[in-house]
Amino acid sequence: MTWGKTLGISFIVSLVLWLIFGYVYGDFVLADSVVPEKGVTIDDWLSAYYLAAGISAFFAWVFNIAWYIMGVNFAGGSGISTRYYVLWGLTLILGLGAAFGFMEPAVEGNGVSTFFAIFLAPMAFYLDSVFASADAVKFIPPFRG
């Protein structure tokens, strides 16, 4: 797979996941149910949620580029699956950081928004690596054909 295809597919996967789990869930579910803490408007809370989910999706995109670089430079041997899981773990940690660093606290009604903001990065990284890996490592992600 070429750089252009990888960047394009990875960007589209991350964008679609952000649209589904960030924007659509926020606009159609959270806008009617979330009760932010005192002094925070619903629009400000939703903007912070969109930002946290967007940063999480961006981390997935960046780490998929790193995975692609590792795949292009992979010449065989062992340890590549460990590198994959390290990158996946880093996306999880950075997703945690994005969720707890950028989202405003809510009194109630935030549903699974924190879960989506945290797991958007590792979920998007996994799907990016399934659909847009370098040829040498395209069968490394688990559950891949």
pLDDT (tens digit per residue) in 43-71: 999 999 999 999 999 999 999 999 999 99
Per-residue pLDDT for 145 more than 70?
A: no
Q: How many domains does the chain have?
A: 1
The percent of residues in the chain predicted with pLDDT above 70, rounded, is 98
**Spatial distance between the Cα atoms of 118 and 127, rounded to a whole number of angstroms:** 15
Q: Residue 75: give the domain boundaries.
A: 3-137
- What pTM value is reported for the model? 0.90
> Would you say residue 144 lies in a domain?
no
Q: Does 142 map to a domain?
A: no
pLDDT digits (tens, 9 = 90+) for 24-42: 999 999 999 999 999 999 9
Is the distance from CB of 49 to CB of 32 less than 8 angstroms? no
Is 101 part of any domain?
yes
Position 18 in a domain: yes
Residue 145 included in any domain: no
Question: What confidence score (pLDDT) does residue 144 get?
Answer: 61
Q: For residues 80 and 74, is the Cβ–Cβ distance under 8 A?
A: yes
